[in-house]
Amino acid sequence: MVLAVAVSVALPVGLASADHHGGPLAGKNIAFLVGEGVQDAEALVPMGYVVSRGAKVTVIGSEPGMVTPYNSDMQVYVQKAIGDVSPEDFDGLVIPGGRSPANLRQHEAIVAFTRSMTESGKPVAAICHGPQLLITAGVLEGKRATCFAGMADELREAGANYTDAAMIRDANIITSRLPKDLPEFCAAFEKALLE
């Protein structure tokens, strides 16, 4: 099954345009870094949330095309290759978890994009294994963060102060652990975008 209907908000057909939705995030353009093995809810719930609040979503990966979540038979459409976008195009970044971040962190252009977005002060939100990209980008040293419990040691080794909590925000970096934390994750990301 192709999840094109559910993620049509991420397609470049105007459905994700803030002009069509209004709302507090109207005019905001949000990048989602998605790769093979993404956790479906950790991508789709935040996408739906920000679009419902008026933002536009652009799904970015190593190359355009369909990717399959590790936990379902659905597919998610990656609209743009990392080489076709610039951090200046976006107001915020979401990094869903699953196996996707481990794949994406192998691409230097994706790591550089993540680093640039974080260093710019724009909101960057990573859930579950998403902080792996932040670790590879070298932006977590001295920061408070959370993640999937199984990678807590990796977070600590990167110099982050790990806390087992539903959501941690340190400056512009927002991290969460699991799909059950999505309500806090989405609300914190929206709040950061509005500041």
Catalytic residues: 129
List C-alpha distances in Å: 20 to 1, 15, 16, 145, 180: 27, 7, 8, 35, 29
Residue 69 φ then ψ, to 5°: -60, 150
Residues whose CB is less than 8 angstroms from the CB of residue 15 and which lie 6 or more positions away in sequence, other chains included: 8, 9
Question: Which of 164, 33, 37 minimizes the C-alpha distance to 109?
Answer: 33
Question: Which of 101, 152, 102, 103 minimizes the C-alpha distance to 124?
Answer: 101
First to last CA, the chain: 39
Residues whose CB is less than 8 angstroms from the CB of residue 8 and which lie 6 or more positions away in sequence, other chains included: 15
Q: With the CA atoms of 82, 88, 89 and 92 taken in that order, what torsion angle do they form, in degrees rounded to the nearest 10?
A: 90
